[in-house]
């Protein structure tokens, strides 16, 4: 009896996995997969992207070590991309895109180990006459080294999005996207992402776009 070639077995396994993923994609896997509906009575203002470089500049969380820094021109490009995503033809919400960044205040050394930025962002929101304020952060940024066909270092980004309710001084909701592209051989559970990216190595900007789409869905924007 002849043995079945390995590549044939792998092809069958890949086909079965794709079929299973397609079936799963037709229904929410959890309540987190159900889009949030945010009342249109809220006015949503969007702050420019920024990169905290100390813990005190965070609303919550920690600064990664080492931290991959993003250039100012790339922050501006993220602002443009977020505007495009939020104002797509499917969106019926009116947004206010703020141009003035938050002015960083001096931080007392004894407090520098704790996230302290919420009060500053709430004050910023009041100054800008905001109802809801979306604060987008880039915590970590590593650009792809190589090409779509092959890399010496894959892209990695860590984004955070906070939706603040200014009147109550609270974080209404948040979305986190912390992603490093890895080869399919390291984690077959990432087959869905592998297929969505067409089996190629994407840029940090491409990953950031995925994070923005995720935030739009999770925050109900």
Residue owning tokens 């924007």: 221
Domain spans of the chain, in order of start = 38-219
CB distance 208 to 161 below 8 Å: no
Cα(182)–Cα(143) distance, rounded to whole angstroms? 14
Residue owning tokens 């947004």: 95
Over residues 141-196, the pLDDT tens digits come to 999 777 666 657 788 999 999 999 999 999 999 999 999 877 555 554 455 555 56
Which of 91, 165, 167 minimizes the C-alpha distance to 134?
A: 165
pLDDT in the model for residue 22:
46
Tokens in use for 15?
Answer: 């086909």
Distances (CA, A) of 147 to 151, 152, 200, 202: 6, 9, 9, 8
Say which CATH architecture domain 38-219 belongs to. Answer: 3-Layer(aba) Sandwich (3.40)
Read off the pTM: 0.77
Cα(4)–Cα(13) distance, rounded to whole angstroms? 13
Over residues 82-119, the pLDDT tens digits come to 999 999 867 778 899 999 999 876 554 445 578 889 99
DSSP-H helix ranges across 128-203: 191-196
Cα(73)–Cα(31) distance, rounded to whole angstroms? 37
| 19-46 b/e (C-beta count within 10 Å ≥ 16 → b) | eeeeeeeeeeeeeeeeeeebeeeeebbb
Sign of CA dihedral 61, 63, 65, 71: positive
Percent of the chain, pLDDT > 70?
Answer: 68
């Amino acid at each position: 009896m002849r043995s079945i070639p390995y590549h044939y077995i792998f092809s069958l396994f890949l086909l079965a996995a794709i079929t299973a993923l397609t079936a799963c994609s037709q229904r929410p896997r959890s309540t987190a997969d159900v889009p949030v509906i945010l009342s249109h009575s809220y006015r949503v203002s969007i702050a420019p992207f920024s990169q905290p470089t100390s813990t005190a500049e965070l609303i919550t969380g920690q600064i990664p070590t080492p931290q991959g820094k993003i250039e100012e021109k790339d922050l501006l490009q993220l602002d443009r991309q977020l505007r495009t995503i939020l104002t797509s033809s499917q969106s019926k919400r009116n947004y206010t895109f703020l141009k003035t960044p938050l002015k960083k205040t001096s931080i007392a050394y004894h407090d520098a180990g704790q996230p302290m930025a919420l009060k500053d962002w709430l004050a910023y929101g009041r100054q800008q006459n905001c109802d809801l304020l979306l604060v987008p952060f880039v915590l970590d940024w590593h650009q792809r080294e190589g090409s779509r066909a092959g890399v010496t270092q894959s892209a990695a980004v860590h984004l955070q999005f906070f939706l603040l309710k200014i009147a109550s001084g609270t974080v209404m909701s948040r979305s986190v996207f912390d992603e490093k592209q890895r080869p399919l051989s390291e984690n077959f559970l990432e087959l869905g992402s592998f297929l969505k990216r067409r089996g190629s190595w994407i840029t940090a900007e491409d990953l950031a776009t995925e994070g923005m789409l995720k935030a739009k869905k999770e925050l109900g924007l």
